[in-house]
């Protein structure tokens, strides 16, 4: 049980549900008025896409801990690697297996999409291009870039985080003309990561050019997405409902965030951590809001059930972690972790 708990902590298994929900939402979201594919096809695609998402997320988290193992021995001794609950060699094997599993599953998505097309019409040469694998590989490259380099580069690192989310969610349905959800995920993750980064006093400090980079990156990324949707003729369809659903979710989160800033009982670091954690779980709200606003109520229910699983997993892992670690750590160790500078990632 202890080894399993350490593995779940290493891979941040509870938060991996956020990645699965993002990919599922894009996979399930369809153009207004389009006919829904057979249920068995969707379930099969959702299962394989879930493997890709969970694998990439676990790979990114375990790789991050591997690269930060020496630093975590000082600032985060409770983590699985510095505490000795998972040897570095085992963590490396886990990270590699998760990456390989995700890429193999992503490669399997193209044949599944070809079969899906074949049931309705004769596939063309473009249908055989492994876009899902290419998107998964690009996401893995960005994860390595972030863990190894860009998380120490201020604004570039924050943009990388948002780009990983925006690109990853398209793996299950890389040819989708609806990029609204991807745009909102990009913007949401970058903005809340920047605010939390500042509140938690992370290093390196953000300077003027970091903010210019962040704004320019958001404008460029969202501009490219809008241009692509315009060329695909998305705006000829009634897509206003999707935008209203996503915008409403963003407004509600912004209102909640303002209330957190007005709460003077918490330190800036605590406020930043709270904004970031809720911001991650709020990704479920974006996913469900886009689907429900598009009258896909069953798909919205699936995302809601995934949210429930994520919440239960998160608090279960946290409770077990405290039960196991608390008696073994003295006051000195707890205080060192609490007052240490926050992790740059």
Residue with tokens 């876009």, as numbered in its chain: 131
The separation between CA 11 and the C-alpha centre of its own chain, rounded to angstroms, equals 13
pLDDT per residue, tens digit, the chain (345 aa), is 678 899 999 999 999 999 999 999 999 999 887 777 788 889 999 999 999 999 999 999 999 999 999 988 888 888 899 988 999 999 999 999 999 999 999 999 988 776 666 556 666 667 778 999 999 999 999 999 999 999 999 999 999 999 999 999 999 999 999 999 999 999 999 999 999 999 999 989 999 999 999 999 999 999 999 999 999 999 999 999 999 999 999 999 999 999 999 988 899 999 999 999 999 999 999 999 999 999 999 999 999 999 999 999 999 999 988 877 654 433 333 333 333 333 333
Largest CA distance in the chain: 68
**Under 8 Å between Cβ of 181 and 320:** no
Task: Report how far Cα 3 is from the mean position of its chain's Cα atoms.
Answer: 25
The whole-angstrom separation of Cα 97 and Cα 235 is 42
Vertex 60: Cα angle to 52 and 14 (nearest 5) = 70
Rounded to whole angstroms, the Cα distance separating 22 from 171 reads 10
What pLDDT shows up at residue 41?
Answer: 86
d(CA 197, CA 154): 9
**Backbone φ, ψ for residue 176 (5° rounding):** -60, 135
Contact assessment for residue 159 and residue 202, using Cβ atoms and an 8 Å cutoff: no
DSSP code for 204: S
Contacts of 56 (CB under 8 A, 6+ apart): 19, 98, 99, 102, 136, 139, 140, 143, 168
Tell me how far apart the alpha carbons of residues 56 and 34 are, in angstroms, rounded to a whole number: 30
pLDDT of residue 115: 66
pLDDT at 140: 98
Residue pair 163/142 in contact (Cβ under 8 Å)? The answer is yes
Question: 75 vs 79, 82, 197, 338, 343, CA distance in Å?
Answer: 10, 10, 17, 8, 8
- 191, 264 Cβ separation under 8 angstroms: no
């Amino acid at each position: 049980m202890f080894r399993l708990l350490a593995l779940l902590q290493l891979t941040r298994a509870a938060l991996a549900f956020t990645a699965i929900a993002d990919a599922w939402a894009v996979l399930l979201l369809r153009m207004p008025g389009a006919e829904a594919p057979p249920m068995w096809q969707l379930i099969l695609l959702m299962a394989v896409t879930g493997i890709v998402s969970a694998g990439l997320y676990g790979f990114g988290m375990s790789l991050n801990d591997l690269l930060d193992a020496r630093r975590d021995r000082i600032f985060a001794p409770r983590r699985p690697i510095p505490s000795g609950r998972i040897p570095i060699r085992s963590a490396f094997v886990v990270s590699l297996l998760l990456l390989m599993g995700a890429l193999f599953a992503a490669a399997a998505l193209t044949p599944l999409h070809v079969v899906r097309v074949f049931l309705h019409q004769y596939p063309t040469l473009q249908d055989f291009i492994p876009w899902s694998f290419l998107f998964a590989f690009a996401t893995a490259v960005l994860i390595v870039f972030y863990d190894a380099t860009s998380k120490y580069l201020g604004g570039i690192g924050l943009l990388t985080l948002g780009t990983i989310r925006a690109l990853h969610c398209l793996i299950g349905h890389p040819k989708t003309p609806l990029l609204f959800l991807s745009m909102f995920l990009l913007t949401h993750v970058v903005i809340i990561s920047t605010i939390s980064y500042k509140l938690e006093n992370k290093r390196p400090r953000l300077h003027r050019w970091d903010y210019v980079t962040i704004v320019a990156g958001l404008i460029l990324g969202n501009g490219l997405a809008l241009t692509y949707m315009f060329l695909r003729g998305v705006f000829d369809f009634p897509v206003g409902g999707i935008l209203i659903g996503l915008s409403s979710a963003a407004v509600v989160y912004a209102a909640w965030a303002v209330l957190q800033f007005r709460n003077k009982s918490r330190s800036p670091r605590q406020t930043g951590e709270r904004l970031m954690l809720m911001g991650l779980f709020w990704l479920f709200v974006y996913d469900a809001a886009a689907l429900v606003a598009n009258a896909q109520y069953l798909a919205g229910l699936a995302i809601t059930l995934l949210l429930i699983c994520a919440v239960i997993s998160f608090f279960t892992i946290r409770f077990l972690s405290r039960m196991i670690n608390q008696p073994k750590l003295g006051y000195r160790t707890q205080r060192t972790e609490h007052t240490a500078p926050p992790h740059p990632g």
